[in-house]
């Protein structure tokens, strides 16, 4: 291995460490606790080293969001692939989405609540974000109904799931009613 390859590998490892540490700190104490100073202390690098990888917290949030988008896409696809039939796939997708949000609140916030400097719903949207949407679309397109644009249906269904996540996390909805909500969403919106 050349010196340059080794340096690139070390740089990539430092970046992964920064993102993992930021994610861990955010999951434990919230995003307000994630500062470049605290990250530098935790990973035992100087702040200038941190800034050589990320220009600041916003870019770190973006990196966590991209990592989370890949994980969300995988969770949705895994859940949907284990289900039989279109409606069951939609119910499995819904549960996987809600479970992801519940078990990864800081990552969910990085994806959908915080400014990570990422473009959404545009041509320059990063691939992991496009793929997370595609994972939803793959299941939801088959239940959109006649004459309904699959992409628009996916956006509306996703908005409903996001609303359930947001309202449940804010204590506006009872968590124990999550399953009846999923069933209602599937029964009323998934027409196939």
Residues in the chain, overall count:
192
- Where residue 3 falls among pLDDT bands split at 50, 70, 90? confident
- As a whole number, mean pLDDT of residues 58-64 equals 98
Supply the pLDDT for residue 67: 97
pLDDT at 156 over 70: yes
- As a whole number, mean pLDDT of residues 179-187 equals 92
Supply the pLDDT for residue 6: 87
pLDDT at 138 over 70: yes
pLDDT at 139 over 90: yes
Place of tokens 């039939």: 85
Phi and psi (nearest 5°) for 116?
-105, 10
* Residue pLDDT, tens place only, 105-137: 999 999 999 999 999 999 999 999 999 999 999
| Long-range pairs of 141-146 with CB within 8 A, sequence gap ≥ 24 | 142/86, 142/89, 142/192, 143/86, 143/87, 143/90, 143/189, 143/190, 143/191, 143/192, 144/191, 145/191, 145/192, 146/191
Report the percent of the chain where pLDDT is more than 90.
Answer: 91
Is 128 strand, coil or helix? helix
Q: Token digits for 31?
A: 């995003």
pTM to 2 decimals?
0.93
- Per the model's pLDDT, the better-predicted residue between 187 and 63 turns out to be 63
Q: How far is CA 53 from the centre of its chain?
A: 22
Mean pLDDT, the chain, integer: 95
- Contact status, residue 189 vs residue 157, Cβ threshold 8 Å: yes
pLDDT at 192 over 60: no
Q: Which residues contact 32 (CB under 8 A, 6 or more apart)?
A: none
Phi and psi (nearest 5°) for 46?
-80, 160
Q: How far apart are CA 133 and CA 152, in angstroms?
A: 11
Report the percent of the chain where pLDDT is more than 70.
Answer: 99
pLDDT at 1 over 90: no
Q: Which residues contact 87 (CB under 8 A, 6 or more apart)?
A: 143, 186, 190, 192
């Amino acid at each position: 291995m050349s010196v340059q390859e080794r340096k690139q590998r070390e740089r990539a490892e430092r970046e992964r460490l920064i993102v993992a540490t930021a994610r861990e700190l955010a999951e434990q104490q919230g995003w307000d606790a994630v500062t470049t100073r605290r990250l530098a202390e935790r990973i035992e690098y100087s702040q200038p080293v941190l800034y050589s990888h990320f220009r600041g917290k916003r870019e770190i949030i973006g990196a966590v969001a991209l990592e989370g988008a890949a994980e969300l896409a995988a969770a949705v696809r895994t859940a949907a692939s284990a289900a039989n039939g279109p409606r069951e796939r939609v119910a499995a997708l819904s549960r996987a989405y809600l479970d992801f949000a519940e078990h990864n609140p800081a990552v969910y916030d990085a994806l959908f609540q915080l400014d990570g400097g990422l473009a959404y719903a545009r041509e320059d949207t990063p691939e992991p974000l496009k793929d997370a949407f595609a994972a939803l679309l793959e299941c939801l397109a088959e239940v959109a109904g006649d004459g309904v644009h699959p992409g628009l249906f996916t956006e509306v269904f996703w908005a409903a799931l996001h609303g359930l996540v947001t309202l449940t996390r804010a204590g506006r909805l009872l968590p124990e009613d999550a399953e009846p909500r999923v069933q209602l969403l599937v029964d009323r919106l998934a027409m196939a």
